[in-house]
Amino acid sequence: MRHNVEGRKLKRTASHRRALLRALTVSLLRHKRIRTTEAKAKEARRFAEAIITRAKNAYLAEQAGSTTNIHARRVVARDINDAAILKELFSEIAQKVAGRPGGYTRVVKLGQRIGDGARVAILELVDYNTERDENAVRSRAKRMMSRAERVARSRAKQAELEAKQTPAVAQEEAPAEEAVIETTAAETAPVADAATEAQPTTEAPAAETAADGDQAKG
């Protein structure tokens, strides 16, 4: 029996298991959210949180006035072999989790995988995935509401929506009336122009007949 033996072997040797946890941690710090099996997620969570804690302690000490902690960066660099991720860990990520006393990650279970039936989960950084927290707060508040409160809230939303739609309908009707007036003016304008153009043509033949009469008399 395995007494006082913590952790999961994951059916791998020690070196293979260490390499797996390093790869999962680098992917987690790069993408802030990864999907893997539940057993791997739980093991990677322990591994990643130890690294984040070391980076956070170094960041807080440096903010308090201490010199740059090169030793902490070298220790973490043994497992994080990406220079960009290492720099982001000791600056942006450490700053974001500075006020959190642990629990930087969460494991969200997704159920069993169709192919092999393995239990799948999502491992994510809590401070970079706040949408799930907001949804949980809203759903919890909704469950705590009574039926009368839910009905009153629904009616208030409906009244607000109708109030927003009423000015829009009025604005749509006003341009329609202006368009009718413009079309009426456009239809009457060509008639007047035609009348003015037709007048000189009727006077011209009269002037020509008068001139012919004078020549005949002469």
Cα separation, 64 vs 69, in Å, equals 12
pTM of the model: 0.61
With respect to residue 85, please indicate whether it lies within any of the assigned structural domains: yes
Please indicate, yes or no, if residue 7 is contained in any of the structural domains. no
b (16+ CB within 10 A) / e for 198-210: eeeeeeeeeeeee
Query: What is the distance between the alpha carbons of residues 26 and 20, in angstroms, rounded to a whole number?
Result: 10
Contact yes or no for 36/123 (Cβ under 8 A): yes
Residues 6+ apart with CB under 8 A from 155: none
Length of the chain: 218
Q: Domain of 87: which CATH number?
A: 3.90.1030.10
Which residues of the chain carry a pLDDT beneath 70? 132-145, 168-218
Q: Which of 109, 108, 84, 100 is nearest to 30 (CA)?
A: 84
pLDDT at 4: 86
pLDDT at residue 218, rounded to an integer: 46
Tell me whether residue 135 is in a domain. no
Q: Is residue 188 assigned to a domain?
A: no
Assess if residue 199 is contained within a domain.
Answer: no
Q: Residue 209's pLDDT is what?
A: 52
Residue 215 lies in a domain: no
Range of the structural domain that residue 92 is part of: 14-129
CA distance 31 to 23: 12
Domain presence at residue 115: yes
Res 211: pLDDT: 52
Query: In this predicted model, what pLDDT tens digit does every residue of 41-58 receive, in sequence order?
Result: 999 999 999 999 999 999
**What is the DSSP secondary structure assignment for residue 145, as one 8-state letter?**
S
The total of structural domains in the chain comes to 1
- Residue pair 120/112 in contact (Cβ under 8 Å)? The answer is yes
Nearest by Cα to 51 from 15, 16, 88, 14: 88
The set of residues, in sequence order, having a beta carbon less than 8 Å from that of 65 and lying 6+ positions away, is none
3-state secondary structure of 84: helix
| Residue 174 resides in a domain | no
Q: Looking at residue 68, what DSSP letter applies? A: P
